[in-house]
Amino acid sequence: MPAELILWCVAGLLVAAAVGVAMARRAVARPVVYGICLVASLAALLVAVGALLASPKASAASLPLGLPWLGAHFRIDALAAFFLVVVNLGAAAASLYALGYGRHEHAPHRVLPFFPVFLAGMNLVVLADDAFTFLLSWEFMSLSSWALVMAHHRVADNVRAAYVYLVMASFGTLCLLLAFALLAGVDGAYGFEAMRNHRFGPTSAALILTFALLGAGSKAGIVPLHVWLPLAHPAAPSHVSALMSGVMTKVAVYGFIRIVLDLLGTPEWGWSMVVLALGGITSLMGVLYALMQHDLKRLLAYHTVENIGIIFIGLGLTMAFQAYQVTWAAALALTAALFHVLNHSLFKSLLFFGSGAVLTATGERDMEHLGGLIHRMPYTAFTFLVGCVAISALPPLNGFVSEWLTFQAILQSPDLPPWGLKIIIPAVGAMLALSAALAAACFVKAFGVTFLGRPRSPAAAQASEVDRFSLVTMFAFAALCLLAGILPGAVIDSLAPVVGGLVGDRMPVQLAVPWLSIVPIAEARSSYNGLLIFVFITLSASLAVYAIHRFASRALRRAPPWDCGFPDPRPITQYTAGSFAQPIRRVFGTSVFLAREHVDMPPPGDRRPARLEVQMRDLIWEGIYVPVAGAVDATAGRLNILQFQTIRRYLSLVVAALVALLLVLAIWL
């Protein structure tokens, strides 16, 4: 039943797309399209929450679409239900936000038809129960999001971003196609049920895993397949950026979990090392890239890469524990990863909504032209601050809980026998710790430079608060971040059927623990209580405020800043995004980005200003993508002669190709 209900919601979304096509240029289209999207997503969200909490057994549906002898199969189990919750929560929020934000869209006819299709595609990927439907929906999702990235195609960078995205998306789909081809085997068993029952040999399992990692990883943004992500996510309109970063990357994570943990069975422990190493490198590189950015949306996009790394660390730990049948620890690691999936979709959407609000109010994405917005946009600033605290993994908000669970999972791993894991897991733990600390620095920079200080441009000085729809959305997500942080037990308990279905075990029931603490294993080993921490901090802060204002002094007067006696009223004397990151660039960037600083100091008497020039290189782009693109270009150049042949040559080429293929077939069979 739930599967059919969600298919109805998808049908509703497709109707919205049709409305978007028909009335794209009329003003009434925006509220209608986003309104339908909001209602459909909310309905799907309710169904998915119901499926996750209420009914443990899977629900299936099929439609006579797709391949004639196959049809399209859909199924909701606990895993799909959880990811449908994530998708539709993000989708509902983005639709609500877009009701207000979309007003400023100057090309609505390039956004309105594709937005509902994008939502429908993500829902269908999670619903799909056979390889054909999965891949088709995946392409649906990729192409509609590509169209949304191209919405503002007159901006030169966006065209390049969309091109890189299209190439990487095609590569990803190709890899997934190969993975599913291997999963389906020679009989062409495309249904997921048949794949689940099939046992795979070590070679084909290794190939399937590699292709799944490449295919889902390129969509999720694993380093070094992340290059399209920081280009494409910021290029789209902000509510779409929120969906791409907060939700679409999670659909990719879903694809990986579905293939590797569900369809494939338990891989060898060696593969968990690969996933762990990739996760660690991804989280560290993602945050370092993010720190070096001064474009707010690009910073957030790079930071998505970091969070994907954290999720993959959790998945790698799950695979390691699974390989040795330590199911309770695998359940802990998988819960941590899935919790982080939910958390990241919450705070990353919130932050992209906030950056969209800043973009609406000032027309700027470059932090070097912002500043002081906390005075002009107090509500946006507050919600953005909540998002920053949450994403920096600081208690008592939600980001901390999932990182804490990941750390707890790491602490359970020394008993795993292989030496490789014994060495790689502490190293990954150190990378995770390092990236958590750098994330805090990154978001001090993002919030501090954008919202604090003095305005650095007239646009920032004249900004005004955004519309109510946007504010309601942002406040709702900020509240969810707090709720998931202080009541993590509820989230962990509702994840139990998902985890149980995949690893065959679950974490202890958390809501039964006194005082609503979370206790992953036993209270003597570790526990955390976000609710009490929140209450304690609130109480002691209020107590301090009350006592001081009551018994000491409450007098206050305003004066110019002190600044050690040399205040300079010009905003140019403030710290900028670049100068804030300079110490970290010197510590980490000199090796990772080969960052070089050069001071151009004019000689005495010369009145030219001194300049500090910073050179940074993207070694991944230069080392992998430039050579590959060069090789493709060179090959294409060589093959170009094929385009200028006579008709006789073409005919003989065709005949030769045909004969060669027939020969191959004859020899093979």
Partner 1 sequence: MALIHDLAVQGGQLLLVLLMAPLLTGFVRKVKARLLRRQGAPIIQPYRDLARLLQKDVVLADNASWLFRVAPYLIFAATWVAAALVPTFATNLLYSWTADLIAIAALLGSVRFFMALAGLDVGTSFGGIGSSREMMIASLAEPAILMIVFTVALVAKSTQLSTISDFILSTHVGLRISLGLVLVGLIIVAIAENARIPVDNPATHLELTMVHEAMILEYSGRHLAVIELAASLKLLLFVSLIACLFAPWGLVRADAGLAGYFVGAVAWLGKLAVGGVLLALFETVIAKMRVFRVPIFLGASLMLGLLGTLLLFVTRGL
Query: Restricting to residues 418-477, which ones interact with partner 1 according to CB under 8 A?
Result: 419, 422-423, 425-427, 429-430, 433-434, 436-438, 440-441, 443-445, 447-449, 452-454
Cα atoms in the Cβ-side hemisphere of radius 13 Å centred on 357:
33
> 655: how many CB neighbours lie within 10 A of its CB?
10
Residue 76 CA from chain centroid, whole number: 23
Asked if the bond preceding 224 is cis, omega within 30° of 0, the reply is yes
Q: Which is nearer to partner 1, 27 or 610 (CB)?
A: 610
Q: Which is nearer to partner 1, 555 or 636 (CB)?
A: 555
Count of residues that bind partner 1 according to CB under 8 A: 90
Q: Which is nearer to partner 1, 146 or 451 (CB)?
A: 451
Binding to partner 1 by residue 348, rule CB under 8 A? no
Exposure string over 525-551, b if 16+ CB within 10 A, otherwise e? ebebbbbeebeeeeeeeeeeeeeeeee
List the interface residues with partner 1, window 537-556 (CB under 8 A): 537-538, 540-541, 544-545, 548, 552-553, 555-556
Task: Name the E strands within 42-192.
Answer: 59-63, 72-76
H/E run at residue 612? strand 611-615
Q: Residues for the chain: how many in total?
A: 669
Q: Among residues 80, 75, 183, which one has the least CA distance to residue 129?
A: 75
Q: Which is nearer to partner 1, 31 or 448 (CB)?
A: 448
DSSP state of 117: H
Neighbouring residues of 433: CB distance < 8 A, sequence distance ≥ 6: none
Q: Which is nearer to partner 1, 548 or 629 (CB)?
A: 548
Tell me the window of 51-59, 154-162, 204-212, 561-569 that interacts with partner 1 (CB under 8 A).
Answer: 561-569
Q: Which is nearer to partner 1, 430 or 656 (CB)?
A: 430
Tell me the window of 40-48, 71-79, 477-485, 567-575 that interacts with partner 1 (CB under 8 A).
Answer: 567-575
Q: Which is nearer to partner 1, 91 or 284 (CB)?
A: 284
List the interface residues with partner 1, window 354-373 (CB under 8 A): 371-372
| Binding map of partner 1 across residues 2-41, x = CB under 8 A, - = no contact | ----------------------------------------
Task: Name the E strands within 560-632.
Answer: 596-600, 611-615
Binding to partner 1 by residue 627, rule CB under 8 A? no
Binding to partner 1 by residue 560, rule CB under 8 A? yes
> Which amino acid does the sequence have at 326?
V
| Binding map of partner 1 across residues 569-608, x = CB under 8 A, - = no contact | --x-xxx---xxxxxx-xxx--------------------
Q: Which is nearer to partner 1, 69 or 562 (CB)?
A: 562
List the interface residues with partner 1, window 485-544 (CB under 8 A): 517, 523-529, 532-533, 536-538, 540-541, 544
Q: Which is nearer to partner 1, 26 or 375 (CB)?
A: 375
Contact 257, 339 (CB under 8 A): no
> 417: how many CB neighbours lie within 10 A of its CB?
8
The tokens describing 292, both together, are 């070096």
Q: Which of 557, 607, 608, 648 binds partner 1 (CB under 8 A)?
A: 557
Exposure string over 33-56, b if 16+ CB within 10 A, otherwise e? bbebbbbbbbbbbbbbbebbeeee
Binding to partner 1 by residue 614, rule CB under 8 A? no
> 469: how many CB neighbours lie within 10 A of its CB?
19
List the interface residues with partner 1, window 154-173 (CB under 8 A): none
